Amino acid sequence: MKISILGTGYVGLTTGVCLAEIGHSVTCIDINELKIKNLCAGISPIYEPGIEELIINNIKLGRLSFTTSYDKGLEDAKVIIVAVGTPQREDGAANLSYLEGAAIDIAKNIKQDVIIAIKSTVPVGTNEVVKEIIQQNCSKDIVVDVVSNPEFLRQGSAIKDTMEADRIIIGSNNQESARIVEEMYKPLNVPILITSIRSAEMIKYASNAFLASKISYINEIANLCEALGANVEDVAKGMGKDKRIGEAFLYAGIGYGGSCFPKDVKALLHTAGINGVEFGFLKETISINNYQRELLVKKAIERFGILKGKKIACLGLSFKPDTDDMREAPSINIINSLTELGAEVIAYDPVAIDNAKKILGNNLTYAHSINECVTDTDAIFIVTEWREFRELDLPSILKKMKNPIIFDGRNCLREEKIRDCEKIEYYPVGKPSIIQ
Ligand code: UDX
């Protein structure tokens, strides 16, 4: 099938690459010339394990191409997938200007009947508006239908999440359009659920808000575990064995971040508000998450009294491992709080330093290695659970520090490893501290 993709961000690029991999002929369109030039040369604009190999392979096989031209990119497409960003507006609502712009660009350039599958996360009702915009702006003899096709991939495992998706949601008020989009995804051999457009739009927000709330729930349980001397990891394991609860997304820590959860929870709360539904549950989800982001700083204040003049090593900057994405990363709040309190911060991240510099500037020192980062520091904050932090050579790290103190915001160090150290103060989340 001939497919065009609009937007080469995480969602658009991954979808394009995976659809090419299962045999479709895919053209990705983006207005950013440098991005397209790099993609044509097989260079990915995002850090995503496995994606470059797939780009290069599928270009070679003639199934994948990239262009800045709408005219060329939309030629003969049977389905156009729209995956442009819907960033957060100041009032929490989704900013739909890129999507509206994309709708007008499609309308002006399309020359054949086409189905438009919208992957961008949009408030309930938006896809119907997009259809109207396109119909009003395109030639009257062209039939355009819009289908809601939300995306659930995670950064860092985007390819696997697409190729082995738990489900594909197709929201359509037209059976034939739903059938064509279903046919496009069939080779993936994953469960497909067809719903109305509005239900599909809602499934995306309801899923993300639920997962974010699951994290806030376990974080609040973690805080209670700390107060009671219980261990949140054992509690989560015990809860997760119940199939109705499930083991995933029960890792306590310094809160959720990234480009989706914080934005989608706020957008759903905003939608609820303007439709007369209070949804206090989501307000709590957000406030617990804000509290968790300050947790390590609070623990450090409890330990040191004042942080002025203390040198703190931050291990990890990205919002989660295997990505260089700094959007809504807890590290931003942590580092800002530490510097406001007069602490000196030095940070290391395997891939996110360039992006971190754009947000945090010169508020801190950036280290090139773990060793450089921890040398002569009063404490380590583990902020992102990168594998290399899980595998820290603790005795050698602790020797380099001024004080052997670790605040682990992701519970990523194993207890036996800590117990093997002669002298250490280890403060995890939701578990008893280890001081020896
Ligand atoms: C998320 C959704 O999982 C995905 O379905 C959606 O399409 C986009 O948003 P992503 O933002 O890539 O994906 O990251 P994810 O792996 O879901 O983690 C989100 C945040 O939650 C991270 O900051 C992570 O550290 C945190 N998290 C996750 C926890 O704190 N505890 C957990 O148990 C799981």
**CATH classification of the domain holding 243:** 1.10.1040.10
Q: Which of 261, 291, 321 is the last residue of a domain?
A: 291
Out of 154, 290, 334, 408, mutate this one to test ligand 1's pocket (max ligand atoms within 8 Å of CB): namely 154
| CA dist 204 → 93, 237, 249, 322 (Å) | 15, 27, 17, 23
pLDDT for the residue numbered 220:
98
The CATH number of whichever domain residue 310 belongs to comes to: 3.40.50.720
- Same domain for 109 and 10: yes
Q: What is the pTM of this model?
A: 0.93
pLDDT confidence of residue 90? 85
Per-residue model confidence (pLDDT) at position 86: 87
- Residue 325 near residue 316, CB atoms below 8 Å: no
Check residue 162 and give its pLDDT.
96
Residue 257 CA: nearest ligand 1 atom is 23
Find tokens 């190729």 and name the residue: 163
The alpha-helical segments, DSSP class H, found in 321-414 are 330-340, 353-360, 370-374, 387-390, 394-400
Our answer on whether the CB atom of 256 is closer than 6 Å to any ligand 1 atom is: yes
Catalytic site residue 314? no
Q: Does ipTM top 0.85?
A: yes
User: Are 102 and 64 in contact, with CB atoms under 8 Å apart?
Assistant: no
For residues 121 and 205, the answer to whether their CB atoms sit within 8 Å is: yes
Tell whether 302 and 273 lie within a shared domain.
no
Domain that holds residue 167: 2-195
**Within this chain, do residues 373 and 403 fall inside the same structural domain, yes or no?**
yes
The pair phi, psi for residue 160, each rounded to 5°, is -60, -45
Q: Which pLDDT score is estimated for 415?
A: 94
376: left (phi over 0), alpha (psi -120 to 50) or beta: left
C-alpha neighbours within 13 Å on the C-beta side of residue 334: 38
- Are 332 and 358 contained in the same domain? yes
| CA atoms of 211 and 206, how far apart (whole Å) | 9
Nearest atom within ligand 1 for CA of residue 249? 33
Contact 185, 178 (CB under 8 A): no
Catalytic residue among 18, 138, 260, 314: 260
pLDDT for res 94: 82
Looking at the fold, whether 287 and 304 belong to one and the same domain comes out as: no
From 254, 273, 291, the end of a domain falls on 291
Task: Among 155, 176, 195, give the residue marking a domain's end.
Answer: 195
136 alpha carbon, distance to own chain's centre? 34
Of residues 168, 115, 125, 119, the one with CA closest to residue 148: 119
Residues 347, 410, single domain; the answer is: yes
Nearest by Cα to 389 from 433, 350, 430, 421:
350
Give the pLDDT of residue 47.
Answer: 85
Quote the longest CA-to-CA distance of the chain: 78
Same domain, residue pair 149 and 179? yes
Based on the domain organization, do 149 and 249 belong to the same domain? Answer: no
Quick check: 300 and 406 in contact, CB under 8 A?
Answer: no
Shared-domain flag, residues 347 and 267: no
Q: Structurally, how many domains does the chain consist of?
A: 3
Whether 45 and 32 share a structural domain: yes
Q: Are 155 and 218 in the same domain?
A: no
The closest of 94, 4, 10, 8 to 320, measured between CA atoms, is: 10
Q: Count Cα neighbours of 287 within 13 Å in the Cβ-side half-sphere.
A: 5
* Same domain for 158 and 63: yes
CA distances from 120 to 101, 185, 285, 308, 374 (A): 13, 17, 23, 44, 41
10-residue mean pLDDT profile of the chain (436 residues): values are: 95 97 97 96 92 97 97 96 89 87 94 95 91 92 96 93 97 97 98 97 97 98 97 98 97 96 94 95 98 98 97 98 94 98 98 96 96 98 97 96 97 95 97 96
